Structure 1
Amino acid sequence: MKKAPARVGASVVATAALLLGDFSAASATADAHFVPEATKIRWNGTTATVAFLEVDVELDANVTTISTRVTAEVDAVCTNEESTLHIHRTASSLRTSDYLISFDGTVEGPATVPLRVQGLGVSGYTCVVEHISMTAELEDFRTGATLTHTT
């Protein structure tokens, strides 16, 4: 009678291992992390470029998969003679790509993400952008490393 529970326990462990993946890969990359000081965001109004550096990446593969979500928050002031409008718009976009892992365990990118903020112009008004705030959220799907960087 004690063997039946052991079989049930073994099948639960096997099922959990299949669902959760290989624990040895996760433990091998436990030190992987993005370097905040190496993260930079540039935006030209249509495309955001995020420079990043991930270090201490140890995987059996020579590539890893990183998602980059970029959010732009833009404040503009639009005037038409005595009328003034204050506009606040937000837009975000996500791109996922594979990146090569260097022999020294680093992953460098730029990640390019298409990003446009709609509604910053008003017909008949002259609009000037006063403030732009950019946020990049990086996540390495294989190592679990994450970073949120705001400029």
Structure 2
Amino acid sequence: AEGESWMLEKMDPVMEEIYQFILGYVPRKLENKYTHEFIFGRILECMGLVAGISPYRQMHFNDFIRELLEKFSAFDSDPNKTRAPMLYHAMEMKGLQDMLVFFHSAIQGFNGHLPKEFGILREKYLLPYYLAWGWHLMEKFRLFLLI
């Protein structure tokens, strides 16, 4: 359990990977005094994109988290029951969702910390690991968020 410091060191490249995968480009960085304090907010933003929530839709924070958790809990649905044919990007997105479910289950199963044996998977699949970690935190603190 290396904690969040390990995650923070790798945050920028992972965020760029997330944006490139979902949006097809990397938005220009917004540098200000809050940038480094908004890390979990950036993860939530990317989670919303993975879940298919429009970035242009204005929502109350609790409604956003509630919808996010609902959509994430449906990620383990059977891909054979989706409309055929699946587009390549949709197939990639389903793969990302499956990895999220895998990491989320592992994080839940090990009380929030993956054992060292998962280190190679975590390194190789940082993107779904970050998002699964965010999902875990949202569920863990659901009562505090009044959801």
Normalising by the residue count of structure 1, what TM-score does the alignment of the two structures yield?
0.20
Structure with the largest fraction of helix:
2
Larger radius of gyration: 1
Structure with the largest fraction of strand:
1
